Amino acid sequence: MRNVRLIVLMVGLFALLGAGLASAQTTTIQLAGWSSSDAENAALEAMVAAFEEANPDIDVELIFAPEYETFMQTGFASGDYPNVFYVDSFRLQDWASAGVLEPYGDQITNPDDLYASLRDIFTYDGQLYCAPKDFSTLALVYNTDLFEAAGVAVPTNWEELRAAAEALTTEDVAGLTTGIELPRFLPFLYEAGGSILSEDGTEVVLDSDATITAVDYFVSLYTDGVAKSPADLGAGWAGEAFGQGKAAMTIEGNWIIQYLIDQFPDTNWAVSELPVGSEGPATMAFTVCYGVAAAANNDNLEASVRLADFLTGPEGAMMVGESGFGPMPARASAAETWLSSRGEEFAPFVAGGDYSYAWSFPPGFGTFIDTFNNGLNEAVKGNVDVQELVQDSAEAAQEALDELM
């Protein structure tokens, strides 16, 4: 009997030791991001669960931070921040230059499958810092009922866009609505052959004939009355104005899809690629990568890279595609998966991945963006000359660049 008790006690002891050993061998890392929607949150939770199942030695603590920027900046200041975290393309250069990111680009699975334009966005100082988790592009969204009633064809270039906007404008409906802001204007700049900075980023090239052409075209749509801002139409954003039938066209990202389905199920609409300028097509890529904390502040670097690579790798991209909640997979191999879950009619958003430009700027360019946005809005109101807007914005960009040199 004593021997039986002894065996039972030993078995129990070994079980406890085994559990303790397993616990000691499990690494816990934090993954932080912002909460954008229940669907996106659920999709990420499912991806994390799949990673943990494939990597039983790693536990992932998922953090959805309400005030994400403040949360991360506070962590950066203290040196205590999550192992893996969202990095908006707009913040990549700021955070990379601050030394809070570990460049793990050389450990990404099959990086050539990632859209080249997205790889470029997350490359800083010659290094690919992180892999994009997904992306969105801008396209032309149009009301099919209004187009049919007016007998208007879907515009494919600037001339046709203006003609369509004129034909579709009525007392109650604007031909076009979009935000009067830099990210909505930039496709026009690139399609005209212009740019803000030189290719190597060392020179401001905004003050050019191409910029004047693009700004003049964009502004004239509003001053001629064939385009109106969302605010002028009593809406909070362009998607709302379009869904309400107050505008026949809008330039928006693929985030508009679910919004229109949920909020305006009776509005009939379709999507096409943005009308092309004289120098070819362009659109903007709005994207986020999974950044990994710099080695100096990351006790679990290897586990962190494994998580980031899983979430952005072939399996993770397929899961993003299957979820179909909005953003598109950053891997070309998963594009058809997203379209099959969302709808082939939304292919224009995917097509933009091949010729998109980054919504990204060097550190310190906030003043330039504010200067341009304010000037563009004043130009639309007729208060600022186009040439003055371009010159003031170019000077603001030059001041920001000088601070970096």
Distance between CA atoms of residues 329 and 325, nearest Å: 11
∠ CA 142-147-149, nearest 5°, is: 150
Is this model's pTM higher than 0.85 or not? yes
Q: pLDDT tens digits, residue range 119-138?
A: 999 999 999 999 999 999 99
Tokens 């009776």, located at residue: 266
> In the structure encoding, which two tokens stand for residue 127, read together?
């290094």
| pLDDT tops 60 at residue 155 | yes
Q: Which of 360, 292, 298, 350 is nearest to 108 (CA)?
A: 292
**Mean predicted confidence (pLDDT) in 295-307:** 97
DSSP letter (8 states) at residue 84: E
| pLDDT tops 90 at residue 326 | no
For residue 119, give the H/E element and its range: helix 116-121
The confidence score (pLDDT) of residue 366 equals: 93
Distance between CA atoms of residues 386 and 246, nearest Å: 28
Amino acid in the structure at residue 386: V
| pLDDT tops 60 at residue 12 | no
Q: Which of 193, 235, 221 is nearest to 379 (CA)?
A: 221
∠ CA 94-62-323, nearest 5°, is: 90
Report residue 36's pLDDT band, with 50, 70 and 90 as the boundaries: confident
For residue 37, the number of C-alpha atoms closer than 13 Å in the C-beta half-sphere is: 11
Domains (range + CATH), the chain = 28-136+285-358 (3.40.190.10), 137-284+363-404 (3.40.190.10)
**Mean predicted confidence (pLDDT) in 247-269:** 95
> In the structure encoding, which two tokens stand for residue 56, read together?
């039983």
